[in-house]
Structure formats: structure tokens, C-alpha cells
Structure 1
Amino acid sequence: MAWIVLIVSGILESVWATALGRSENFTKLWPTVIFGAALALSMAGLAFALRDIPTGTAYAVWVGIGVALTVTYAMIFGGEPSSIIKVLLLIGLVGCIVGLKLVDTPR
């Protein structure tokens, strides 16, 4: 259960990071509301996952998921330039995240 919550929390990290950028310094209401809600839920989920997953592993997975999804979303919808190298590096990042799960040993 902790891993599922951690993955959802990583997705929510991407949501709040994207909403933060779209809030235009907290001047737009809905992106600001989405930012606040996603941030709170993401942190709560990370805290929940830390009960069963070592801190270093959980944090690396949480951030890695957030980074991979935020960059991918920005490349598809936000005008961030993409390249084969960027895509390959993101695939490598996802591979490292999966690797952390595979080598995880319960506390």
C-alpha cells in the first residue's frame, strides 16, 4: 500500500509543480487552488509512505516521478523543447526509479 500511495504522491508532485508555474505568482485563482491542494495531498502521501519505505528511497522515487512527469508534460503541452537525448535521459530516470523499487528491502 505504501508504494501505491508514494506513486500517487509523486504524480501529485507533478500536478502541484505544473499548477505553480501556471499560477503566475499566485495571481490566478484555480491554478493556485490546485497547487495548494495537490501540495498538501502529495506531502501527506509522502509522509504516509515514509512509515514503510526508507526515507532516501521514498524521497528519490517521489521526486523522480514528479520530475519525469513534469518534464514530459512540459515537453508535450508547455512548449519545453524536446530532444532524443532528453527523452532517453527521462527513460533512464524512470529505469532508476523502478530499480529503487526492485531493490527495496522492507524495514
Structure 2
Amino acid sequence: MAWVSLIVAGLFEVVWAFSMKQSEGFTRLVPTVITFVTVIASFALLSFSMKSLPLGTAYTIWTGIGAVGAFAAGIFFMGEPATLLRIVAAVLIVSGLLMMKLVSA
């Protein structure tokens, strides 16, 4: 259950990062509310997962999901560039996440 909570926490991190960008510096109400609600949910689920997962593993996976997810959201929803080097960097992050999962199993 800790791994499921951690993955969902990472997905909430993507949502809050995306909605924070949409809030335009917390000047738009709906994206601002979404940001704060999903930040709280993300942290709560991360905290729950840390009860049984090592700190380094949980935090690395959480930030990795958030980083790669925000990267993908930027490309697919905001028209950010998908250059070869950016994609290689994201692949390296995902590789590190998979390695972290394998050694933590």
C-alpha cells in the first residue's frame, strides 16, 4: 500500500505543479485552490508512504514522478519544447526511479 500511496502522491505533485503555473502567481482562484488542495494531499500521501519506505527511496520516487510528470505536462499541455536533450534527461530520471524501486523491493 505504501507504493500505491507514493505513486498517487507523485501524481498529485504533478497536478499541483501544473495548477500552480496556471494560477499565475496565485492570482487566479480556481487554480490556486487546486494547488493547495493537491499539495496537502501529496504531502499526506508521501508522509503515509514514509511510514514503511526508506526516506531516500520515498522522496526520490516522489520528486521523480513530479519532475517527469511536470515535464510531460509542460510538453503536452503548454507547448513547451520536446528537444532531444530534454527527453534524454527525462529518460535518465525514469531510469533512476526504476533502479531505486528495484533496489528497494
Scaled to the shorter chain, the TM-score interval is over 0.9
Identify the structure with the greater helix proportion.
2
Shift of 1:79: 2.4
- Report the TM-score, using the length of structure 2 for normalisation: 0.95
Q: Which whole-Å CA distance do the structure 2 matches of 1:26 and 1:73 have between them? A: 19
Q: Which whole-Å CA distance do the structure 2 matches of 1:99 and 1:3 have between them? A: 15
Q: Residue 24 of structure 2 aligns to a residue in which SS?
A: coil
Unaligned runs of 5+ residues in structure 2 are none
Across the aligned residues of Structure 1 and Structure 2, the Cα RMSD in angstroms comes to 1.0
- Report the TM-score, using the length of structure 1 for normalisation: 0.93
Percent identity for Structure 1 against Structure 2: 39
Q: Read off the aligned partner of 1:35 and give its amino acid letter.
A: T
The equivalences for 1:68-79 within 5 A come to: 68-79=68-79
Shift of 1:32: 0.7
Unaligned runs of 5+ residues in structure 1 are none
Q: Read off the aligned partner of 2:29 and give its amino acid letter.
A: L
Q: Read off the aligned partner of 2:87 and give its amino acid letter.
A: V
The equivalences for 1:31-70 within 5 A come to: 31-70=31-70
Aligned match of 1:86 = 86
**Displaced runs of 4 or more, over 6 A:** none
Q: Which whole-Å CA distance do the structure 2 matches of 1:88 and 1:5 have between them? A: 28
Which stretch of the first structure deviates more once superposed, 48-57 or 84-93?
A: 84-93
Q: Which whole-Å CA distance do the structure 2 matches of 1:45 and 1:6 have between them? A: 6
Q: Which whole-Å CA distance do the structure 1 matches of 2:24 and 2:83 have between them? A: 27
Aligned match of 2:25 = 25
User: Size of the alignment, in residue pairs?
Assistant: 105
